[in-house]
Structure 1
Amino acid sequence: MKSLVNYRYSLVAGACAAGGSFFGKLPSHLSAQKLLYFQDSAGGNFSDSSYLEFGLLRLLPLVLMVICNVCNLRCFLKALQMTEQTLTCVVLTAASNYVLSFLLGTLVYQEPLTALSGIGITLILAGLWFLCDAGAVDSRKKETEKAS
């Protein structure tokens, strides 16, 4: 777990990227759920409540998507500055994005959970474990070499 502290910005960047994807899909998901009724029954004009629904259910998720993507870029750049190997940073960011997007899609959007997707997530998590653990071993080797 100590090795994950070194890569916290990579993991946060992946979480922000997953959040951006989540909020990007949310308006179309809400439209498919028939939660939006924009037209007034009288003449097809927008009513005051329709503007509120449009703002909250269409524009707000898009604004949150942009905010998440900006935070993603900021954290990713910070992660690149903090890590010694850029490949580790890129892999951790992408893997955490995939895992969190999978979880959000399954839990919120009721996307199907198949055996193949379960195997894929397990392999991604195993790869993350080995990658982070190998980074901790490399840093311990460098510390012992400096001490001797």
Structure 2
Amino acid sequence: MTSASSLPAEKPAVAPPVLWWLRLEGLAVAALAVVLYARTGASWWLFAVLWLVPDLSMVGYFVDPRLGANCYNAIHSYLLPITLAVAALSFQRAALPFVLIWFNHIGVDRLLGYGLKYPTAFGHTHLTEPRRLQAPRQHAPQK
């Protein structure tokens, strides 16, 4: 098993056409979540206010890139919202609008290419290449 620091930072984990399928999958999840949210009768103000809440998971990056990636990935994978959706459907349907907002957020992120993060760099995800900071080019002196 390789360590996270030995992962290649130059390339995304997936490339076209798989990348396109994953983005389309994000679109499908986002669209379904909006349609189901509309059927709950919940306020669209609630949707707007809570839509960015999952991004609060990025505060872990202030402590350490590994912690930041772990926090971000825990909130931006489908595992927790699926678990909460099952609980909401089984016990407390009032939580369903919150779950659907969460699904929509993750789906839109995937559609836009924001994937699960590697601890090597904030911009290094399973869907994108990390953005490199390039040093300014030195110009040859004029003769």
TM over 0.5: no
Q: Determine which structure has more spread, i.e. the larger CA radius of gyration.
A: 1
As a proportion of its length, which structure holds more helix?
A: 1
- Using structure 1 for the length normalisation, give the TM-score: 0.31
